Structure 1
Amino acid sequence: MQKSFPAIACLVLLAGCAAPRRQTYSQPPPPTPPAWTSGGTEAQAATGATAAADLKWQEFFTDGKLRQVIELALANNRDLRLAALNVEKVQAQYRLRRAAQYPAVSAGASVDAYRMPADMTKDDRAYISESNRIGLQVSSWELDLFGRIRSLKAQALEQYMATEQGRMASQISLVASVASSYLSLAGDRESLRVAQATLNAQKLTYDMVRRTRDLGIKSDLDLSQALSQVQSAEVDVVRYSGQLTLDENALNLLVGASVPAELLPASLGADEALRDVAAGVPSSVLLRRPDILQAEHQLKAAYANIDVARAAFFPRIYLTGSGGFLSGALQQLFSFRALTWEFAPQVTLPIFDAGTRKTNYQIAQVDRDTAVADYEKAIQTAFREVSDSLSQRTRLLERQNAQQALVDTLDQTYRLTEARYKAGIDNYLSVLVAQRSLYSGQQSLVSLRLLRLTNLVTLYKVMGGGA
């Protein structure tokens, strides 16, 4: 056995000369500017606010009903459940890779009995041969001198961590999607409320015009115009009622169960239903996003795969052995004379493989370069998402405030026009124009409020919040 070690050493030296150099992981620099160029006051819009990545979703969403709906989704959503099961599967695969570092030891016991017939023996006597064996066995344990199994374990660990970050990204996406769907339902209910209030007002106006027409004060034209306003409002009420059903179906699908009626929103509510998040932070905060961490772990796995391909240039050493007791008599099985063992090391090194090992190593390098590109693209995509959300943040608030002022003015104009019409100063056309302008302004205000709240949810999501 001692003569075999120099031969093994020669194989290692020959393989080491042909093996490529080991490569160590280094984090690629982010291919983005160090900060967002908002070009306005967006970066200062949230002075003193908490960074999104440090703000749990329970703290960001202040509406109690919405928090309960999100909790239902986290418990019942099937996509998130599949992501969690995938994490468990990859975790089990990592345990398999880790177990490969250690020898697999098995215990066994056997009894062999053989009878030799009398006509087959020289002395015409039948013989019974018996052997009893008990012991332990180690089957083909690879001695990981060159890090192949350790690299496989590292690769599996990085894949597990990448999958876990993927689950976190799925959770963040689910929280944001549920919140956006919930807000859309609230916005449509708000629009329905405005349309219903407008319809009720139009019916009162129509009744008033009809009575004055019957007295000969107003014309049939005024009555026809008032009726057209009632019918137009009825169309909007039916349209928004139908949209509510679609919104509820979409929300139920995201949640994975029927949302109780008491948890559904009645309206958009106050603008303070969502907390503000800090925007004046460096772009390096994106490196904390789960999807970017997932891409980085996949990059580390690609580096580990290079080490696996590199280890193929070195010999692979397997140890197989067994030991125990072997005896023809059961009563003598555990005596020292019955002790038996076997040790069979094996070393393999391909001499000619038509460039297979070299090609596999090159493929691993290309996979590493691909993972670098995916990592950098994930950062660039995240940077754009944040930049787009920030660019709308303050402008949506300014538009909402301006629209609110416009609605207040239109409401005052409508009331004055209606009073002048009742006094006989203006015709009904002025009232009709004022009503349409007010209704359009109110619906636009609802849409802007919904856009602003949805933008806050998106900004919270793309800046890494939601865990």
Structure 2
Amino acid sequence: MKQQVFRRAWLPLVLGVVLSGCSLAPKYERPQAPVPAQLPLAGAAAESSDMAADLGWREFFRDPQLQALIELALENNRDLRMAVYRVDEARGLYGVQFSDRLPTIGIGGQGQLTRLPEDMRQPGADSVTRTYQAGLGITSFEIDLFGRVRNLSEAAYQQYLATEAGRRTAHIALVAQVAQAYFSLRAAEQQYALAGSTLKARQQSYDLVKLRYDNGVAGALDLNQASSQLESVRADLVQFERLKTQAANALQLLLGQSVPADLPTAATFGKDQLLAQVPVGLSSEVLLRRPDIDSAEHQLLGANANIGAARAAFFPNISLTGILGFASPALGGLFGSGNRYWTFQPNITMPIFAGGTVGNLQVAEARKNIAIAQYEKSIQTAFREVADALAGEATYAAQLDALRRLEQSAAESLELSRLRYDNGIDSFLQVQTAEITLFTTQQQFIQVGLASLTNRVELYKALGGGWNADTVSETSPDTEQAASTTQGDAS
């Protein structure tokens, strides 16, 4: 008999848990990508069956010194640490929200002593009454018939996944930033060395003109032109020294520590520091491999769940409070067999007029529309970044070849100009012009070479590469988790 009473008391709770699978959230449908179906200028890079997102940075970056620097940055960079801590925070918030879906069950006891005035007592009753209770109970557990709590929990879970994807985005960005800072430092060192060698050549030219001037062969104009060329390069040398220091400072900030002195030997500055070709693929669906787009979709899924929670606020709210235990007027006999005690308190609240509820639904729907626009903008931005990088891949090689030929022509022109000046055929102005042309071309070659390396890093980053340390042939666990979650929510 007592078991039957117990079952009748807790039956509504069990029934509420069973029925709590209902959800008023809209059915999720992934928005169509607002970009062309094919990537432009993919060329031969599209023939590979591998994707850049699966290409490990150890294989893409072939410079041993750069690899060591990336490892240090991944261990010590403070921005990446903050991204990791944000994931921990989001995981904790999801745990808090998920706990609302389960009843809070606890063991407790209480005692109450009450003294009543004489005129309020029953005849013959003691002046002090005592009541003691102990048992197992739940407090204000909401039976989630319409999915309010479940959708709030789902929104928190999607926020956690979005934050996790944000961590991967920060990871990829850091790898690319370290590479770009490293290449900027190497380029500044190249420019500094070029200015140093050019300064020596200009000093020799000045000394020669000065000797000719002292012997009355050259005029003051030639001497002034040679002096201006010398001082111009001297100023450039100081500028490149400053750029070199600033590039080293930028790299140190990314590393989160000083640059070690025992790094591996650096590879020769040039295109061989990177993988010769980035596997792209033809379809723009490869953009969905980017973690920032994955993050935007999880934000959209969370906004979709919040609509379900806002809709559920229009329906009755049912909560339960109950206790099963013992009650007695005497503490010593509290747990006697005849003192079994239970209480069951359901509470139903039906909204009649709640203007804020309508407003909350409007806010949730507006935020979903914002999330859709943000998701679509993320895809458009990704498409533009990949398209720009592919345009660079298609043109930088030809530009560098043209600069090589121009440098060779400028060097030959300078040699001929010096011979003509030494033989008194031309003025020093011709030598000056040829020197400026050669030095400018050499600087431009270094700058375009740096831009070419940076562009390839940008293409690798834009395609979602840089998350894996080593090349993988299958989808990473993080990607599989995100994909399965999205598919489950969509269904």
The TM-score range, normalised by the shorter chain, is 0.7 to 0.9
CA-CA distance at 1:114 after TM superposition: 6.5
Pairing 1:393-432 to 2, within 5 Å after superposition: 393-422=393-422, 426-432=426-432
CA shift digits 1:36-71 (9 cap, x unpaired): 233xxx522565484221112232211122222222
Cα distance in 2 for partners of 1:219, 1:122 equals: 130
Matched to 2:362, the amino acid is Q
Cα distance in 1 for partners of 2:121, 2:168 equals: 76
Please tell me whether the aligned partners of residues 65 and 267 of structure 2 are also in contact (alpha carbons under 8 angstroms): no
* Residue 312 (structure 2) pairs with residue 325 (structure 1): no
Matched to 1:388, the amino acid is D
The equivalent residue for 1:444 is 444
Cα distance in 1 for partners of 2:252, 2:285 equals: 36
* Residue 32 (structure 2) pairs with residue 29 (structure 1): yes
CA-CA distance at 1:284 after TM superposition: 0.9
Please tell me whether the aligned partners of residues 186 and 266 of structure 1 are also in contact (alpha carbons under 8 angstroms): no
Cα distance in 2 for partners of 1:35, 1:411 equals: 44
Matched to 1:52, the amino acid is A
TM-aligned CA distance change 1:262 to 1:442, over 3 Å: farther
SS at match of 1:295: helix
The equivalent residue for 1:274 is 274
SS at match of 2:326: strand
Matched to 1:37, the amino acid is P
Aligned-residue identity in percent: 41
Matched to 1:279, the amino acid is V
Please tell me whether the aligned partners of residues 183 and 268 of structure 1 are also in contact (alpha carbons under 8 angstroms): no
Number of positions where the alignment pairs a residue of Structure 1 with one of Structure 2: 450
> Where does the alignment leave 5 or more consecutive residues of structure 2 unmatched?
16-21, 468-491
TM-aligned CA distance change 1:422 to 1:403, over 3 Å: same
Cα distance in 1 for partners of 2:236, 2:230 equals: 10
Please tell me whether the aligned partners of residues 326 and 338 of structure 1 are also in contact (alpha carbons under 8 angstroms): yes
Matched to 2:94, the amino acid is Y
Cα distance in 1 for partners of 2:105, 2:457 equals: 55
Matched to 1:54, the amino acid is D
SS at match of 1:84: helix
Give the stretch that moved more between structures: 126-135 or 290-299: 126-135
Please tell me whether the aligned partners of residues 118 and 125 of structure 1 are also in contact (alpha carbons under 8 angstroms): no
Cα distance in 2 for partners of 1:289, 1:238 equals: 42
> Displaced runs of 4+ in structure 1, greater than 6 A?
114-128, 264-268
SS at match of 2:106: strand
Cα distance in 2 for partners of 1:44, 1:63 equals: 24
SS at match of 2:436: helix
SS at match of 1:332: coil
CA-CA distance at 1:176 after TM superposition: 1.8
Cα distance in 2 for partners of 1:427, 1:88 equals: 72
Please tell me whether the aligned partners of residues 106 and 137 of structure 1 are also in contact (alpha carbons under 8 angstroms): yes
Pairing 1:251-270 to 2, within 5 Å after superposition: 251-260=251-260, 269-270=269-270
Cα distance in 1 for partners of 2:118, 2:303 equals: 68
TM-aligned CA distance change 1:146 to 1:388, over 3 Å: same
Cα distance in 2 for partners of 1:118, 1:313 equals: 51
* Residue 174 (structure 2) pairs with residue 144 (structure 1): no
Matched to 1:307, the amino acid is G
Please tell me whether the aligned partners of residues 45 and 278 of structure 2 are also in contact (alpha carbons under 8 angstroms): no
Please tell me whether the aligned partners of residues 317 and 349 of structure 2 are also in contact (alpha carbons under 8 angstroms): yes
CA-CA distance at 1:269 after TM superposition: 0.4
CA-CA distance at 1:127 after TM superposition: 7.1
Cα distance in 2 for partners of 1:268, 1:444 equals: 18
SS at match of 1:28: coil
CA shift digits 1:416-457 (9 cap, x unpaired): 433454455554333322222111110110111011111111
Matched to 1:362, the amino acid is Q
CA-CA distance at 1:86 after TM superposition: 1.5
CA-CA distance at 1:182 after TM superposition: 1.9
Pairing 1:18-97 to 2, within 5 Å after superposition: 23-38=26-41, 42-45=42-45, 47-48=47-48, 50-97=50-97
The equivalent residue for 2:476 is none
CA-CA distance at 1:280 after TM superposition: 4.1
Give the stretch that moved more between structures: 395-404 or 364-373: 364-373
TM-aligned CA distance change 1:220 to 1:20, over 3 Å: closer
Please tell me whether the aligned partners of residues 190 and 266 of structure 1 are also in contact (alpha carbons under 8 angstroms): no
Pairing 1:242-257 to 2, within 5 Å after superposition: 242-257=242-257
The equivalent residue for 1:165 is 165
- TM-score normalized by structure 1? 0.86
Please tell me whether the aligned partners of residues 185 and 265 of structure 1 are also in contact (alpha carbons under 8 angstroms): no
TM-aligned CA distance change 1:464 to 1:230, over 3 Å: same
Please tell me whether the aligned partners of residues 54 and 465 of structure 2 are also in contact (alpha carbons under 8 angstroms): yes
SS at match of 1:175: helix
Please tell me whether the aligned partners of residues 118 and 126 of structure 1 are also in contact (alpha carbons under 8 angstroms): no
Cα distance in 2 for partners of 1:463, 1:125 equals: 84
Cα distance in 1 for partners of 2:209, 2:383 equals: 58
Give the stretch that moved more between structures: 221-230 or 98-107: 221-230
The equivalent residue for 1:295 is 296
> Where does the alignment leave 5 or more consecutive residues of structure 1 unmatched?
10-18
Please tell me whether the aligned partners of residues 25 and 306 of structure 2 are also in contact (alpha carbons under 8 angstroms): no
CA shift digits 1:67-122 (9 cap, x unpaired): 22222222232222222221111111111111111111122234455789999999
TM-aligned CA distance change 1:159 to 1:364, over 3 Å: same
TM-aligned CA distance change 1:224 to 1:244, over 3 Å: same
TM-aligned CA distance change 1:36 to 1:46, over 3 Å: closer
Pairing 1:311-350 to 2, within 5 Å after superposition: 311-350=312-351
Please tell me whether the aligned partners of residues 187 and 268 of structure 1 are also in contact (alpha carbons under 8 angstroms): no
CA-CA distance at 1:141 after TM superposition: 0.7
Please tell me whether the aligned partners of residues 94 and 160 of structure 1 are also in contact (alpha carbons under 8 angstroms): yes
TM-aligned CA distance change 1:123 to 1:307, over 3 Å: closer
